[in-house]
Structures are given as structure tokens and as C-alpha cells.
Structure 1
């Protein structure tokens, strides 16, 4: 499996950052490319198995499933069910950790996936990492 990774440091406390990141249906609040999110089955947005339907600003549709929500280690894990992306078997985890010397938060975003035919792992990873960078920049705009 191929991998993609991005991270960022926030001045906001880890618990405050986690409060935003853990909301499975809250992605449009901080991801500029996502216009809307709707829970369409399987739970309430905090329960593994919950499925969300995301609509991009370009009209693209993404269906994703919450695979896990670790409140202690501050880790949501989700899988792509359907998306207009050159990947298959996509599984991703965000991890919010305390930055000990500042009291801020370190957020990492890690995914494993297989590239679809006609796309290299490096091309797919570069696209995902660019999306993560934009998303985390958006997160910086709503929390300190």
C-alpha cells in the first residue's frame, strides 16, 4: 500500500483542536474544497460505521465511513467508500497530540491507499498531501 502524510502545529490546546477535528460531519467548517456534509447512515457522526456524504465546491461527491473514533488518543479514522480520486482502499487517520513545551497541538494526517491504474503512488500521494495541506490551512483559520 502507498502512503500520504501531512502535519501541522497549532497554538490552540490539543483538546480545543480535537473538539473541531473529531466532528465527522464538521469538515465543511475548515476544508475549503468541501461545500457540505450530510450524515446519511450508520450512526450519529461520532459512532464508527457512520457514513457521510460530502459535496465539493465543484459539485463532486464523496462518500466516507467513520472507521474509528479514539477519544483518548484523539484519533478519528475514516475510509473512502466512493470518491472521484485516483485511489482505492483508502484509509486515513488524523491524530491530535499535545505539544509539551507550548501547550499547543500537533496534528498529523496519515493515509494508506492503492493508486488506481494509470496513476503512480507518488502522483496520488502528492495530490492527497496537497489536499491535506489546504485543509489544515483552513483549520488554522478557525482555531488559533
Structure 2
């Protein structure tokens, strides 16, 4: 099993960041590589079990399932059901925490995964971290 990780510190409050991140269907609002998202079953965007279909800017299709949404802890956990990525068994958690001395927020995005056949752990995590970095940069522009 491998782990992918990316994080960032925000000047906005944890509540402000969480209000954007908790929307399972809201990824196109801040991830530059995702142009559309649609909830296709399992409930609404705040209900564990909800399934979203993402369309990438390159027209790729991703299907994810919301596993857990914890407002008190500000965590969102999802798993990939189907995606054109060199991984399987992908489960990821976004966690927003307050930064006490500045009033800002710290967001971490961590995933566990199994590299697909013919892919090393470092190759698989590099692909994911290359997607996380512009996503969090995009979130900075939405929150600013």
C-alpha cells in the first residue's frame, strides 16, 4: 500500500475553507482540472454513499463515492470507484484544521492506494500529488 499527501495553509478560517471543501459535488469550483461534477446516486452531496461523476478538463471520467463526512472534525473521505489513474483501492481524506496563532486553516489531503499493475508506488503517488497541488492552489483563489 502507498500513500499520497499534499497540504496547504490558508489565511481564511477553517470554517470558511470547510464550507467549500465539504461540498462533495463542488470540486469543479476550485480544481482547475475538473470541469463538471454530477451526483448520480446514493443521496445528495453531503450524504455518505453519494456517488459523483467528475468530468476532467481533458474529458476523462472519474466516479467517486463519499465514504464519510464529519462536520465536527471537518473531514471528508471518499473512494475512487472508477478512474483513468494508475491506482486501485484508492481512499482519500481531506481534513481542515484551524491554525490557532493566525486564525487561518491547514488543509491536508491524504490517500492510501495500491499502485496498478506495472506502476510503482512512487509513480502512482506522483500522479496523485500532481493533481492535489493545483487543486489546493485553486482553492486559494476561491477563498481569497
TM-score, structure 2 normalization: 0.99
1:58 paired with 2:58, answer: yes
| Displacement of 1:118 | 0.8
| Matching of residues 43-122 of structure 1 within 5 Å | 43-122=43-122
1:4-46 Cα distance to aligned partner (Å, 9 max, x none) = 0000000000000000000000000000000100000001010
| Displacement of 1:130 | 1.2
1:58-106 Cα distance to aligned partner (Å, 9 max, x none) = 1100000000001100000000000000000000000000000000000
SS of 2:32's equivalent?
Answer: coil
SS of 1:128's equivalent?
Answer: helix
Alignment RMSD, CA only?
A: 0.4
What residue ranges of structure 1 are gaps of 5+ in the alignment?
Answer: none
Count the aligned residue pairs: 144
- Please list every run of at least 4 consecutive aligned residues from structure 1 whose deviation after the TM superposition is greater than 3 angstroms: none
1:30 paired with 2:17, answer: no
SS of 1:93's equivalent?
Answer: strand
What residue ranges of structure 2 are gaps of 5+ in the alignment?
Answer: none
